[in-house]
A = this chain, B = another copy of it.
């Protein structure tokens, strides 16, 4: 089951550089692990911003909540979720 997730990162300007680097490194490891598992199906940077557009593929709403609330950057992001399903005009069988 697919969800579009938009994340805008807003780190506090006074966060020490090492702490920020540490959180970002953990975020990268976590994001790549979820991509390898197929849970985080797509991950794009929105050009000109510190934000991403993502497609998650999860079993249900509860798993979506588990995955997103475990993001190392979770406390520092504005996040918007849209449930997706197959579009009647889509020609891709697996886009749902």
Interface residues of A (CB under 8 A from B): 1-5, 11-15, 27-28, 31-32, 35-36, 42-50, 52-53, 55, 60-62, 64-65, 68-69, 74-76, 79, 81-92, 95-96
Contacts and interface: CB of A to CB of B under 8 A. Distances in A.
Copies in the complex: 10
A20 to B, nearest CB: 10
Contacts of A60: 1, 60, 85
Given A1-B60, A35-B90, A83 B46 contact: yes
A48 B27 contact: no
A36 to B, nearest CB: 7
Given A13-B12, A13-B15, A83-B81, A88 B45 contact: yes
